[in-house]
Amino acid sequence: MVIGDVTEKLHVKLIADYRRADDDCCGFVIGALNPTPSDSQAALQSILAPALGGATRQSVQMTPNRTMEVTYGASLQADLTVGADTLTSITSARQWNNTEVRNGDWVDQLYLNVPLIRDLGPQRSKTFTQELRLTSPTGGFVDYVVGAFYYQALADRTYTRSNTYCTATTALKQVNGLTPCPTDQSTILNPVGVAAFGSKFYNAAAYGQANWHFTPRFHAVTGLRYTYDKVEAYHTRTNNYSGNTFPGVGVPAGIGSNFDANVATGGLFNGTPWTGKTSAKNLSGKAALQYYVTPGNMLYGSFGLGYKGPAFNTFFNMSAGNTAPIAPETSKAYELGLKSNFNNGRLIFYVDGFYTKVKNYQANYPTLFNGAVISTIINAGDVSTRGAEVGLLYRPNRQLTISGGYSYTDAKVDQFLVPPAAQAANTITSGTPLAFAPKNKGNFGATYTALPRNLPFALEFSGLVSYTDSQVSSLSPRNTPAQMVAFENLTLRAHTQVDITLAAVDLAKRYRLGLVVTNLLNAHYASTITAGGPGGSYLYQIARDSDRYLGVILRRNF
């Protein structure tokens, strides 16, 4: 970071960063299995048993997963005093290069008619932003900010899926019903698919906000934003085999239906380029009223119009049913609340209630494609969320700080819009909860600072207890008994986490050395659960904080 005054009226700040990572990441572990498996699923389940449930942290794979990442960027901010106002320019650029190696078979060796799947997906993206805004001074009847914003994002990816299939072997069948395929006794084929796809996104906006101070106690906030979005996408995939796909790669005739017939009817792409283009414009805004009952207690109410721009689904095994653009999402949000400050900030308390109605909700949606469950973005229809929050911060003395908060959220589907490529049985019924929206969340923490005599530092002890209610990991249907079982298996269980920290802090608060224990009680949980695993299983992605771990943090304040 570089900060400096070029002149008395011009101040600049330059920030640059660089990050490089090479991780053995990110694998799934096998969770719950299909309770009524087919014969082939039952055979696969027999070798998946050691990794069941996610608790063992075992993942059956023939090759490790790997993620290599390089990201860097810079931003330049310039503030120029123009009369009583401040003119600000912020320019930024960022580059992100990422290569992922993924194993998608979850078996320990090659078996007859069981594919080995290996994915290699390097991708690049770069963004550029430019913002110009004019800010007025505060303290008068009205203060304001007006500005313009431009954003450009370019992304491209080349994704290769290499499959290994055994179509015949002289090896003997195992007791579990699976037949291994030694290379010297088997007919092995290697279908490969390569997809090149990407997108270009352009966003331009003009905005303004004014804060009106009618009286010392009564204020209003108004704002408007005009947005224009343009999205372009492209995709080309080629396969080295004709025949059906599993999943998305051509395989020899005799394994499934005919691939060429699907191409002829527009069902899939094989060497045929596709491009898509869409645009949208929107006027959004907000209005809020604030009334100070006393100098430290403010009642407020607000209304806002929200907007999320259009998009395209572009992924390796996309089909003609995925080429339609995703329409913009719009929302209306209402909020009422109270913010209180007592005894010069020793007690801060807030409570609010909210309601949001969303139209054309953009959501991840699981669909069955060539025998595999994939997730695509759809306009899911109308959804709503309502709830309340409460929180406090209490400082009874200089040494002790107590904080806590609780939120209740009811987020659900109001009216589902069935996408053209979805099966009727996959309709989401009204009242289905939205993904990753726990009804109850809460936390309680405390920090105590001791000042030992004759020592140049203080000892700081802090603890935090947080609770997250159960939540679904996918927007999934509940229309049949089998779907109800799947819905339960896709539910992330409630969990409570305890974190503690013991730190030494110098009296000037420039240095801080801390010992951190995260997830003290070792409360295991998954961050996501998805369907589509082998043998009708479910795949658990385990969060880093799902296991207890210790760390040391050294911080220097400048």
Q: Provide the pLDDT for residue 42.
A: 59
Identify the band that residue 522 occupies on the pLDDT scale cut at 50, 70 and 90.
Answer: confident
Identify the band that residue 197 occupies on the pLDDT scale cut at 50, 70 and 90.
Answer: very high
| pLDDT digits 0-9 by tens, 546-557 | 888 899 988 887
Residue 237 has pLDDT above 90, yes or no: no
What residue type is assigned to position 165 of the chain? Y
Residue 121 has pLDDT above 50, yes or no: yes
pTM for this structure? 0.84
Average pLDDT over residues 52-61: 52
State the virtual CA torsion across 322, 190, 373, 153 in degrees, nearest 10.
-50
Q: What letter would DSSP give residue 107?
A: -
Identify the band that residue 250 occupies on the pLDDT scale cut at 50, 70 and 90.
Answer: low
Instruction: Count CB-CB contacts under 10 A for residue 74.
Output: 14
Give the DSSP per-residue string, 211-229.
EEESSSSEEEEEEEEEEEE
Q: Checking DSSP bridges between strand 192-213 and strand 218-239, what pairing results, if any? A: antiparallel
CA–CA dist 302, 219 (Å, integer): 12
| pLDDT digits 0-9 by tens, 86-112 | 999 999 999 999 998 887 777 778 888
Distance of CA 478 to the CA centre of its chain: 24
SS (H, E, C) 140-205: CCEEEEEEEEEEEEEEEEEEEEEEEEEEEECCCCCCCCCCECCHHHEEEECCEEEEEEEEEEEEEE
296: region left, alpha or beta (phi > 0 left; psi from -120 to 50 alpha): alpha
Of the listed ranges 38-42, 159-163, 309-313, the one predicted with least confidence? 38-42
Instruction: Count CB-CB contacts under 10 A for residue 148.
Output: 14
The number of residues in the chain equals 558
| pLDDT digits 0-9 by tens, 420-431 | 555 566 788 899
Q: Provide the pLDDT for residue 102.
A: 82
| pLDDT digits 0-9 by tens, 333-345 | 999 999 999 988 8
Q: Provide the pLDDT for residue 367.
A: 65
Q: Provide the pLDDT for residue 79.
A: 95
> Which range among 134-148, 152-166, 497-511 has the greatest average pLDDT?
134-148
Q: Provide the pLDDT for residue 490.
A: 84
Which strands, in side-by-side order, build the sheet including 539-542? 29-30, 539-542, 526-530
Q: Provide the pLDDT for residue 544.
A: 76
> Which range among 38-47, 191-200, 272-281, 300-309 has the greatest average pLDDT?
300-309
| pLDDT digits 0-9 by tens, 286-297 | 999 999 999 889
Q: Residue 173 to residues 41, 178, 536: CA-CA distances in angstroms? A: 15, 6, 21
Higher-pLDDT residue of 66 and 143 is: 143
Mean pLDDT of the chain: 85
> Which range among 42-46, 327-331, 539-543 has the greatest average pLDDT?
327-331
Residue 521 has pLDDT above 70, yes or no: yes
Average pLDDT over residues 363-376: 66
Beta bridge partners of 280: 229
| pLDDT digits 0-9 by tens, 128-146 | 999 999 999 998 999 999 9
User: Cα-flanking dihedrals φ and ψ of residue 452, to 5°?
Assistant: -60, 145
Contact 549, 500 (CB under 8 A): no
Average pLDDT over residues 522-529: 83
Residue 419 has pLDDT above 70, yes or no: no
User: Cα-flanking dihedrals φ and ψ of residue 125, to 5°?
Assistant: -150, 150
CA–CA dist 538, 529 (Å, integer): 7
Q: Provide the pLDDT for residue 106.
A: 72
